[in-house]
Amino acid sequence: MTSRSPLSATILRSPQARSDGPLRDCQDSRRSVPLTPTPSHTEARRRERHLLTHRVTLIPGDGIGPEVVEAARSVVDATGVEVRWDVEEIGLRAFERTGEVLPARAVSSIRENGVALKGPIETPEGAGIRSANLVLRKELDLFANVRPCRWYPGVPSLYEDVDLVVIRENTEDVYTGVEFEVGTVEVKELIAFIEETTGIRIRQDSGISVKAISQEGSERIVRFAFDETRRRGRSKVTAAHKANIMKFSDGLFLDVARRIAAQYPDVVFDDRIIDALCMELVQSPQRFDVLVLPNLYGDIVSELGAGLIGGPGVAPGVQLGDDVAVFEATHGTAPPLAGRDQADPVGLMLSAAMMVRHLGDLEAGDR
């Protein structure tokens, strides 16, 4: 069984180019293409680009979102790829205009088009939901968050030899939203149940969040990571966990990862305890190729990876489901910078380049 990913990759490089580290190129695409396009193929793609119009949902977002989104949109338009933009609102601006932070019309647009380019969004108080981003992921089943972390020459950073991909499970773990507030009847009953069934006493003044990791969710993301490693021409997958302590949740994730790894003999597999992984990433990030992690660890390590290459302003990302891809800014709304023309749009521009490759135009994506 192979995971269904709308994001595949073809590496355009010679066999010796693997040692080039951060200078090697990764082309993201839905379908296979020749490693070296022939003139006839290239000409056919140019003709197709003029004939084919892609529908893409455009979410300007909040804060600096409209500024960086407009910059990314102009870059896509400049490639010559025909895109019909369906502009929709999600977040604070949507809430102010419609009373809904996640309008059904916007969600339907993303689902119907299958592709979106999204700026950062804010979930206002009083919206009735914890996070519009979390709800969007659940609504569209965006189970995989892919964050390439590659250093580009000229970007200020303490590191230069960085070229890795963080693949984060996006729907489970402590982000399910199942929590019990301190002092409530429900949390007191839960504390009593835990003590009765395990003998472990939890302080009465505790708040509790549930960490849920399933076999199905773990298998889906791990298989996706191995398939993506093959498509990107990479060679190793590292699974991160805390299975030495959380044996029934992280332990399950690790067991599934080891079982799936045995089905990919051409891909090297290893694992790291999450705290050790963070230390090694800071010491020598070049050791790692593709990382696959449960939700919380993936959230943290994605930001660590962005820090290695110059910050979230230059870090692209995409959230993927079986039939939907949302390419997005990986940074926040930064309200103090809004309207001042000081926000760095490079990260979202790189996400837009990933989107263009995903739409099938590798040449335009590389430009």
Mean pLDDT on 349-357? 95
Query: Is pLDDT at 8 greater than 70 in this prediction?
Result: no
The pLDDT assigned to 315 comes to 95
Cα angle value 15/20/22 (rounded, 5°): 130
Give the pLDDT confidence score for residue 48 in this predicted structure.
52
| pLDDT above 90 as % of the chain | 77
Looking at the chain, the whole-number percentage of residues with pLDDT higher than 70 is 86
pLDDT of 30 reads: 30
Q: What is the pLDDT of residue 13?
A: 29
Stretch(es) of the chain classified as CATH 3.40.718.10: 37-142+324-367, 143-173+212-311
Per-residue pLDDT reduced to its tens digit, 162-209: 999 999 999 999 999 899 999 999 999 999 999 999 999 999 999 999
pLDDT of residue 331: 93
Residue 362 is predicted with a pLDDT of 77
- Rounded to an integer, the average pLDDT of 100-116 is 96
Architecture of domain 143-173+212-311: 3-Layer(aba) Sandwich (3.40)
Task: Please count the other Cβ atoms lying within 10 Å of the Cβ belonging to residue 130.
Answer: 12
Beta bridge partner(s), residue 240: 272
Mean pLDDT of 210-233: 97
The pLDDT of residue 314 is 93
* pTM, entire model: 0.85
Instruction: Please give the positions annotated as active site.
Output: 175, 242, 275, 299
pLDDT, position 33: 30
87 has pLDDT over 50: yes
pLDDT value, residue 363? 74
Residue 355's closest CA among 109, 135, 72, 142?
72
pLDDT band per the 50, 70, 90 thresholds, residue 51: low
pLDDT at 34: 29
Residues 170 and 299: their CA atoms lie apart, in Å, by 9
Q: Give me the chain's average pLDDT, please.
A: 87
- The confidence score (pLDDT) of residue 130 equals 85
Q: Which fold has domain 37-142+324-367?
A: Isopropylmalate Dehydrogenase (3.40.718)
At residue 25, the pLDDT reads 41
By mean pLDDT, which of 19-23, 151-155, 306-310 is the weakest? 19-23
Alpha-carbon torsion 324, 326, 327, 331, what sign? negative
Type of residue found at 168: R
Phi, psi of 240 (to 5 degrees): -110, 145
pLDDT digits (tens, 9 = 90+) for 138-166: 999 999 999 999 999 999 999 989 999 99
3-state secondary structure 261-327: HCCCCCCEEEEEEHHHHHHHHHHCHHHCCEEEECHHHHHHHHHHHHHHCCCHHHCEEEEECCCCEEE
Give yes or no for residue 342 having a pLDDT over 90.
no
Closest among 307, 329, 357, 261 to 122, alpha carbons compared: 329
